[in-house]
Amino acid sequence: MPSASESREREAGRRARRRWTVPTITIVCILLVWQAVVAFGIVPNFLLPSPTQVIAALVADAALLLGHAATTLIEAFWGLVIGVAVGFAVAVLMDRFETVRLALDPLVTVSQTIPTVAIAPLLVLWFGYGLAPKIVLVVISTFFPVTVSLVSGFESVDPDLLDLMRTMNASRWQIFWQVKLPSALGEFFSGLRISATYAIVGAVIAEWLGGFSGLGVYMTRVRKSFSYDRMFAVILIISALSLLLMKAVDALQRLCMPWIRAERK
């Protein structure tokens, strides 16, 4: 008869396998249904390319797509880095000064009610067709989730811990680094994960309205030629890049919060 530890290990192994098998089977079923819908003419092929056509377009334009993807990834990366820095600074100021919070809270909220598609032409007009307008748009798209999640994380700190630090004559700086920031890291990485997905989409939207390279530029060109198989290939790459950034955030979270792994074990 297996021991309790062996049973737990087997159960953990089954859960790990399910985490991979269930999504894989779901994706395979969706692709099969998609292929069947096109093959049997339920949807005309000129409107919806089949998965095999999308893969063929992806392979045929692989070198060109890699070049455009590199440009988009650079824009998204630097926009995300600057957006996180701005969001972090704004959140710290809003947590530290009540007046700053009252002043910035409505502005931060209003900044997300303006459609990025409406801002993008102005940024292209002001900054030209280079990297600058794309990075600025990514910054606008990504700083909000980080700011909101960090402010929420700072508010959720256990007040008893704060009182304990104050009774020990800890400075504001010590309270921030030793209590507030570690307590808010979970919320911060949740916001960062959302910002990572916004970064790629924001860069592509900015590229739609002008540029020399990037997945958005490529998408505009193939759309004008009605090459929908290449359009779907670009969508596939955009999704892959977003997932790649999210996995990078997960890896960074495991590095910055090693106690989570210890608690799970």
pLDDT in tens, 38-96: 888 888 877 788 888 888 888 888 888 888 899 899 999 999 999 999 999 988 888 88
Place of tokens 């045929």: 60
pTM of structure: 0.80
Mean pLDDT, rounded, of the chain = 82
Query: What is the distance between the alpha carbons of residues 245 and 130, in angstroms, rounded to a whole number?
Result: 23
